[in-house]
Amino acid sequence: MLHLTIEGREVEARGGCSILQAYVQAGETLVEGVGCMGQGVCGSCRVMVRLSGEKEVRTALACETLVQEGMQVAFLDYFTEATRHTYDLEDIGDSWQVLRTITDVFPEAPHCRHCSGCDRACPKDLEVQRGVNLAVEGKLAEASHVFDECVMCNLCTLACPESIRPNHLGLFVRRIVASQALRPANLMLRLRQVENGEMTIDFDAPGARPPA
Amino acid sequence: MPAGIPYEEARTRYQVGGQPRMRADDASVAELLRAWHPDHGAGARVALAVGVNRGEPCQPDLARHLQANALIDDVDIAGAQLTTTDVLVIGGGGGGCAAALTAAGEGARVILATKLRLGDSNTVMAEGGIQAAIGDDDSPQRHFEDTLRAGHFRGEPELVARMVMEGPDVIRWLIRLGMMFDQEEGQLMGGNLLRKKPGGATAARILSYRDYTGLEMMRVLREAVDLAPGIEVWNRCAAVELLSDERGRCAGAVLYNMEWRSFVLVRARAVVLATGGAGRLHLNAFPTSNHYGATADGLVLAYRLGARMRDLDSFQYHPTGIAHPPHLAGALISEAARSAGAKLLNGEGERFIDELQPRDVVASAILRECAQGRGIARDGQLGVLLDIPTLERENPGILAKRLVTVRHLAHKCGIDATQEPFLVYPTLHYQNGGAEVDVHGATAVPGLFCAGEVTGGIHGRNRLMGNALLDILSMGRRAGAKAASRDGAVPAIRAGIGHVHAWQRELTAAGLPLDARAPLLFPDYAHFDLQADAGLGSGAHARVVGGLR
């Protein structure tokens, strides 16, 4: 059995299990800071972890981090931000002005200090800072791909001294790209066919009935 | 658990790029399902003793929850804070967000209450994609027929027809909200959306974003809800009971605010339940791919208020859950892997089923291999092999480009996905049945709407990959719009939990115990007890609440 500390409690755990599993197997209540329980996509189980004998504290997702002997773990609460970057995609009229739109909505984004705190905070190892800088330069497609696998855990937002909220900036850029530019031919054609009444459902077609 | 072939022995029969033969088999699909699917067999169902579906079959573990007493009584909510809204949406996944966005778009005041946080749901975990018939070799009619056939012709044609006809418009709605989709080539304007073929379908109809479509969808929907001025989001507020008026209408809900440890009464003109399914009840002791909050809450609450249910004995066991390592048991390997051509192999090194058959057929075939001793045993876990390495060899780069989460999962399993196959076993994935609804998501209880996995009828008795995401959005939008309309809505004069008293009398008359309570809210291993947490009753025997709550 391994011995570790989670939320100040001494916990015993078998090797090979995640922090979340160790916590519930130790009989503790777990109804917050939990979501997908292992897939690593919901971004709920944010923790700070210090390994035995190390000074440095790193951030991680508890469902994806396996227990180690002597590990210390503290969960990070979600907080509600006092200010947020609000926008309505419908209001983005002239896409030639998209650079201005980005800095209007995220006025802190050009002030990136290049401290790389966001990069170190990201449990998915995304190049967050690069994504922020690309967005400010207008390289929207490239910026959007940086945030492809972002799970919106908000750890980069917690880490940013300029309050840029990098993950929300990344999502904003992604949403702009899709809503302004993605116009798939096969979808547009099918929509027209449906709207023209060319596509209807025959409830009595042979394939709509059970085989005899 | 039956014995299997030791992993080391099975591994010697496997080689990357091998061309395994298919084991001869003359069993029909019907025989395979009847003999091996968990929905069949002696212990698969009991007759419900109370409620509108009395006498009808239900999965036994679920029946215990449906036939339980309420979590609260009048005295517990006396003096509770009261608030009002036009539409109360319960559930923070894709269906709830679609309903809330649509209702708010119609001008309604909306409260969206969710047990964990906005977005914590099965939607965010969906990998494969969403169905919409947009190919030139495809049509809504084909989508309609495929859905009915996969559901063994037990789905409601009216509901299915509405869903498939709306498919293309749902995709446009998502793009307008800023969701990205994979394309055949890189061009955004005028290119084609990439289509993949789901098991059980006659055309390539799955639209996706990599193999984390649900993540891409949910982060867009969550942001849209969060920024919508007409929607208040109440995180960490679990629904513990619905409110009814003197005419039996739904008049809102009792929520338990986990942070304040207190009850809040929300009176609403209409309630939309989008609470998802029952995977975390671990029915039939199966592992599950489901989110932590999937504890059948909406099914329990709707049934107690008198909503009619259907197909409560029909569940989907996804064929490819992880079997090894044990701590990841139940985690899903997306159907995208089989869709792309990955094969299943038993311990003899043989294929034993066409991998692109519907999920219930493939899952049954795996259960049969394991039960008949051709499964593979490793560290107390039993399963069959999913051959990803050969797929990668035949399609170099597919793991890096299309099956990103499969590669991540292999990493978590401690295997090299280009060399080692996964050990897989079916995992409890989806509740096929649920509340009966019309095309607007309306239940038989006035004022109560349902959307998504909590409903039954669209998927019949088996669901196609990619139809869940389309279901939650098309039905969620319609339920939200209808709930926001004032059609026939007369504000309740009084709202309370009178239906609970009638329910308790019914339980007593049926000889059922009053001390079994539901909904569960969290899985057993969460160590959460509402009675203790809220200080209800004496609470003296309850465990001191600690940990993360």
* CB-nearest partner of B328 from A38, A75, A184: A38
**What's the sign of the alpha-carbon dihedral B521, B526, B527, B528?**
negative
Check if A21 contacts B (Cβ < 8 Å): yes
**Phi and psi dihedrals of B400, rounded to 5?**
-75, -35
Mapped onto helix, strand or coil, the DSSP state of residue B218 is: helix
Chain B partners of A191 at a C-beta cutoff of 8 Å? Answer: 168-169, 172
Residues of chain A with CATH 3.10.20.30: 2-75
**What's the sign of the alpha-carbon dihedral B324, B329, B331, B335?**
positive
CB atoms within 10 A of CB B209: 21
Q: B215 and B336 share a domain? A: no
pLDDT of residue B490: 64
Q: B194 and B274 share a domain? A: yes
Query: Which B-chain residues 93-132 have CB contacts (< 8 A) with chain A?
Result: 116-117, 119-120, 124-125, 132
Q: At what angle do helices A98-105 and A128-137 cross, to 10 degrees?
A: 130
Residue B273's beta-bridge partner residues?
Answer: B90, B450
Q: B374 and B285 share a domain? A: no
User: For residue B21, what are its two tokens?
Assistant: 């033969």
B397-432 pLDDT per residue, tens: 999 988 988 998 998 898 999 999 999 999 999 999
Asked which of B441, B457, B484 is the last residue of a domain, the reply is B484
Chain B partners of A187 at a C-beta cutoff of 8 Å? Answer: 132, 134, 168, 171-172, 193
Least Cα distance to B319 among B231, B144, B199 occurs for: B199
Q: ipTM for the complex? A: 0.97
Chain A partners of B154 at a C-beta cutoff of 8 Å? Answer: none
- How many angstroms separate the CA of residue B523 from the nearest CA in chain A? 9
Query: Is there a contact between B92 and B118 (Cβ–Cβ < 8 Å)?
Result: yes
Q: B419 and B473 share a domain? A: no
Least Cα distance to B456 among B74, B73, B155, B124 occurs for: B155
Q: Do A171 and B327 touch (CB under 8 A)?
A: no
Query: Is there a contact between B253 and B397 (Cβ–Cβ < 8 Å)?
Result: no
- CATH number for the domain spanning B169: value is 3.50.50.60
State the CATH class of domain A2-75.
Answer: alpha beta
* CB-nearest partner of A176 from B178, B179, B522: B178
CB atoms within 10 A of CB B488: 7
* CB-nearest partner of A29 from B132, B405, B549: B549
Q: B107 and B211 share a domain? A: yes
Asked which of B444, B462, B484 is the last residue of a domain, the reply is B484
Chain B partners of A174 at a C-beta cutoff of 8 Å? Answer: 178, 180, 220
Chain A partners of B235 at a C-beta cutoff of 8 Å? Answer: 78
Q: Rounded distance, CA A35 to CA A160, Å?
A: 25
Q: Rounded distance, CA A75 to CA A65, Å?
A: 13
**Within-domain flag for B66:** no
Query: Is there a contact between B548 and A31 (Cβ–Cβ < 8 Å)?
Result: yes
- CATH number for the domain spanning B400: value is 3.90.700.10
Q: B189 and B218 share a domain? A: yes
Chain A partners of B149 at a C-beta cutoff of 8 Å? Answer: 207
Number of Cβ pairs closer than 8 Å across A and B? 203
- How many angstroms separate the CA of residue A114 from the nearest CA in chain B? 26
Q: What is the DSSP string of B24-39?
A: P----HHHHHHHH-TT
pLDDT of residue B184: 94
Q: Rounded distance, CA A72 to CA B205, Å?
A: 47
Q: Where in the sequence is the domain holding B127, given as residue range(s)?
A: 84-229+267-314+432-484
* Catalytic machinery residues of B: 359
* CB-nearest partner of A21 from B124, B327, B404: B327
What is chain B's alpha carbon radius of gyration, rounded to the nearest angstrom? 23
Q: Do B178 and A75 touch (CB under 8 A)?
A: no
Query: Which A-chain residues 130-149 have CB contacts (< 8 A) with chain B?
Result: 144, 148-149
Chain A partners of B215 at a C-beta cutoff of 8 Å? Answer: 41, 149, 151
Q: Please name the residue ranges forming H helices in B353-466.
A: 359-371, 388-394, 398-401, 404-413
**Within-domain flag for B187:** yes
**Within-domain flag for B543:** no
Q: B423 and B447 share a domain? A: no
Check if B141 contacts A (Cβ < 8 Å): yes
Q: B180 and B163 share a domain? A: yes
CB atoms within 10 A of CB B306: 19
Query: Is there a contact between A203 and B161 (Cβ–Cβ < 8 Å)?
Result: yes
Which residue is closest to A190 within chain B, CA to CA?
B134
A88-135 pLDDT per residue, tens: 998 888 889 999 999 999 999 999 999 999 999 999 999 999 999 999
Check if A99 contacts B (Cβ < 8 Å): no
Q: State the Cα angle at B295 between B290 and B301, rounded to 5°.
A: 140
Q: Give the count of domains, chain B.
A: 2
User: For residue A27, what are its two tokens?
Assistant: 């009989």
**Within-domain flag for B71:** no
Q: B206 and B299 share a domain? A: yes
Q: B441 and B350 share a domain? A: no
**Within-domain flag for B48:** no
Q: Do B547 and A21 touch (CB under 8 A)?
A: no
Token pair 């079997």 in the structure block, residue: B323
DSSP structure class, residue B93: S
Query: Is there a contact between B95 and B122 (Cβ–Cβ < 8 Å)?
Result: no
**Within-domain flag for B140:** yes
Which residue is closest to A173 within chain B, CA to CA?
B178
- Amino acid (1-letter code) at residue B87: V
Tell whether omega for the bond before B519 is within 30 degrees of 0, i.e. cis: yes
Asked which of B484, B512, B528 is the last residue of a domain, the reply is B484
- How many angstroms separate the CA of residue B328 from the nearest CA in chain A? 7
pTM above 0.90, yes or no: yes
Q: Rounded distance, CA B319 to CA B332, Å?
A: 9
Q: Do B548 and A18 touch (CB under 8 A)?
A: no
Contacts of A117 (CB under 8 A, 6+ apart): A156, A159, A160, A161
Q: B281 and B378 share a domain? A: no
CB atoms within 10 A of CB A192: 12
Query: Is there a contact between B430 and B460 (Cβ–Cβ < 8 Å)?
Result: no
User: For residue B142, what are its two tokens?
Assistant: 């084909």
Q: What is the DSSP string of B478-504?
A: HHHHHHHS-TT----S--B-HHHHHHH
Q: Do B191 and A16 touch (CB under 8 A)?
A: no
Q: What is the pLDDT along chain B (549 residues), one digit of tens a residue?
A: 568 999 999 999 999 999 999 999 889 999 999 999 999 988 999 999 999 999 999 999 999 999 999 999 999 999 899 999 999 999 999 999 999 999 999 999 999 999 999 999 999 999 989 999 999 999 999 999 999 999 999 999 999 999 999 999 999 999 999 999 999 987 889 999 999 998 889 999 999 999 899 999 999 999 999 999 999 999 999 999 999 999 999 999 999 999 999 999 999 999 999 999 999 999 999 999 999 999 999 999 999 999 999 999 999 999 999 999 988 999 999 888 998 999 999 999 999 999 999 899 999 999 999 999 999 999 999 999 999 999 999 999 999 988 988 998 998 898 999 999 999 999 999 999 999 999 999 999 999 999 999 999 999 999 999 999 999 999 999 999 999 997 756 666 789 999 999 999 999 999 999 999 999 999 999 999 999 999 886 554 545 557 887
Check if B544 contacts A (Cβ < 8 Å): no
Query: Which B-chain residues 221-240 have CB contacts (< 8 A) with chain A?
Result: 222-223, 227, 235-236
Q: B225 and B172 share a domain? A: yes
Query: Going along B217-299, which residue ranges are E strands?
Result: 231-234, 237-244, 250-257, 262-273
DSSP structure class, residue B549: -
pLDDT of residue B545: 55
Residue A72's beta-bridge partner residues?
Answer: A5, A50
Query: Is there a contact between B157 and B147 (Cβ–Cβ < 8 Å)?
Result: no
Give the best residue of B165, B209, B292, B318 to mutate against chain A (max A CB count within 10 A).
B292
